[in-house]
């Protein structure tokens, strides 16, 4: 009798899994996750990935602990991971990745749930922003060589370092995506993009301790629209020119964004006296600054924590850049600061309809330009850069 009941239970489980497979939904709870759901998630992913028709892995509502997980392709058909619960990273940092999506064509990551990296446990020992030899910390979400992807509605919280890293991807969109971390969290860039083409970040909210969006070498056709950033270090291209063989940055469009209480607004930065590179066709338009420290900034003398020498100019070439319809308030009197390289002065840079009010008492406010002759159209307030 016991044997018969046991066999009946196994048959019921197999029937449930088979029914789920036919419906294309692979519910994580059917895989009997234990204290750490990594094994169950990987098992569900493997079955879903092998499905010849579109499939979905579901993490239902609830709170779960997840160790490091690599969700690998290629898959036989489009695949979705729907996260409705709160997924927690291990408390102790281990490795440089937490959840990795790799070599997938046709990925959707969706749901009202969140990935919580428990970064508050690691931030006190994270000095990577000033120590190049630091021990690495896990990035919440990595997208490596992922094409035709949609990441929507989910939240990344308290990453130990970068929240999202996008590498080698094509046609990937973040929509209604949310990032949450306090201003004092070190090196917690929101979304970092490198060597990827066709990246869209739309209608998203990013609060973190470093760049809300950082765009690295090889990024092409990146479109950022409707993003609210703050706290954080703003929306940045770079830093560029630190490493050998950096690929050109081209076609960056940032529009209809709001920056609140950030350390920088919209920024391009490159290292002096180091490596070459280029960035061109970069456009910031219709941006609102709310109490921002450096609202409009090009900094080709970027050298934090004295990690380089300023004795030689930056070798990164900047061209075809525009800042248009930027308004709001600045916490510093130098509301517009365009510091280009003396070795490779900026080419074809336009300032159009800039209206920034300085809120402090160190005035008057001004715009400062160096190694550049910008084209100025409409208004430039504060004045300068002639």
User: At a CB cut-off of 8 Å and minimum separation 6, what does 255 contact?
Assistant: 223, 224, 225, 283, 284, 285, 286, 287
The whole-angstrom distance between residue 129's C-alpha and the CA centroid of its chain comes to 16
Interatomic CA distance for residues 102 and 100, integer angstroms = 6
What structural domains and CATH numbers belong to the chain? 1-125 (no CATH), 161-386 (2.160.20.10)
pLDDT at 34 (0 to 100):
82
For the annotated catalytic residues, the residue numbers are 233
Q: Give the predicted TM-score (pTM) of the model.
A: 0.93
Query: Which tokens go with 232?
Result: 């954080």
pLDDT at 2 (0 to 100):
36
pLDDT at 8 (0 to 100):
36
262 — phi, psi (to 5°)? Answer: -100, 160
145 — phi, psi (to 5°)? Answer: 55, 50
256 — phi, psi (to 5°)? Answer: 55, 50
Give whole-number Cα distances, 81 to 33, 70, 173, in Å: 16, 13, 15
The whole-angstrom distance between residue 259's C-alpha and the CA centroid of its chain comes to 15
Give whole-number Cα distances, 305 to 129, 269, 302, in Å: 8, 15, 10
pLDDT at 307 (0 to 100):
78
By CB atoms closer than 10 A (0-12, 13-18, 19+), residue 106 is middle
Strands 220-225 and 249-260, by their bridges, are parallel
pLDDT tens sequence for the chain (386 residues):
433 433 333 333 334 444 455 569 999 999 988 889 999 999 999 999 999 999 999 999 999 999 999 999 999 999 999 999 999 999 888 899 999 999 999 999 999 999 999 999 999 887 776 676 777 899 999 999 999 999 999 999 999 999 999 999 999 999 999 999 999 999 999 999 999 999 999 999 999 999 999 999 999 999 999 999 999 999 999 999 999 999 999 999 999 999 999 999 999 999 999 999 999 999 999 999 999 999 999 999 999 877 787 789 999 999 999 999 999 999 999 999 999 999 999 999 999 999 999 999 998 999 999 999 999 999 999 999 97
Tokens 């869209």 correspond to what residue? 200
* Cross-strand partners of 170: 147, 197
Strands 139-144 and 63-65, by their bridges, are unpaired
Interatomic CA distance for residues 122 and 111, integer angstroms = 27
């Amino acid at each position: 009798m016991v044997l018969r009941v046991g066999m009946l239970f196994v048959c019921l489980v197999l029937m449930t899994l088979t029914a789920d497979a036919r419906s294309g939904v692979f519910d994580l709870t059917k895989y009997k996750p234990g204290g750490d759901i990594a094994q169950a998630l990987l098992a569900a992913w493997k079955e879903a990935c092998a499905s010849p028709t579109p499939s979905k892995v579901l993490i239902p509502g609830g709170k779960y602990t997840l160790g490091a997980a690599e969700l690998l392709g290629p898959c036989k058909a489009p695949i979705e991971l729907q996260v409705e619960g709160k997924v927690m990273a291990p408390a102790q940092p281990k490795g440089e990745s937490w959840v990795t999506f790799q070599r997938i064509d046709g990925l959707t990551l969706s749901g009202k749930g969140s990935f919580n990296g428990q970064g508050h446990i690691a931030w006190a020992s994270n000095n990577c922003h000033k120590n190049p030899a630091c021990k690495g910390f896990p990035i919440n979400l990595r997208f490596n060589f992922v094409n035709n992807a949609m990441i929507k509605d989910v939240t990344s919280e308290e990453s130990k370092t970068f929240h999202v890293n996008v590498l080698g991807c094509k046609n990937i969109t973040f929509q209604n995506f949310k990032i949450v971390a306090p201003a004092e969290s070190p090196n917690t860039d929101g979304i970092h993009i490198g060597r990827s083409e066709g990246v869209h970040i739309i209608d998203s909210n990013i609060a973190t301790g470093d760049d809300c969006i950082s765009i690295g070498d090889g990024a092409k056709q990146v479109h950022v629209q409707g993003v609210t950033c703050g706290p954080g270090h703003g929306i940045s291209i770079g830093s560029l020119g630190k490493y050998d063989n950096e690929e050109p940055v081209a076609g960056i469009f940032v529009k209809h964004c709001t920056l609140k209480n950030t350390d920088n607004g919209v920024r391009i930065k490159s290292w002096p006296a180091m490596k070459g590179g280029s960035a061109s066709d970069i456009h910031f338009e219709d941006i609102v600054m709310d109490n921002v420290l450096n609202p409009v900034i090009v900094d080709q003398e970027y050298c934090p924590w004295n990690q380089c020498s300023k004795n030689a100019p930056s070798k990164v070439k900047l061209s075809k850049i525009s800042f248009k319809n930027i308004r709001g308030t600045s916490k510093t009197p130098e509301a517009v600061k365009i510091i280009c390289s003396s070795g490779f002065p900026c080419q074809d840079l336009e300032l159009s309809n800039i209206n920034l009010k300085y809120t402090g008492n160190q005035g008057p406010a001004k715009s400062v330009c160096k190694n550049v002759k910008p084209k100025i159209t409409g208004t430039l307030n504060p004045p300068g850069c002639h």
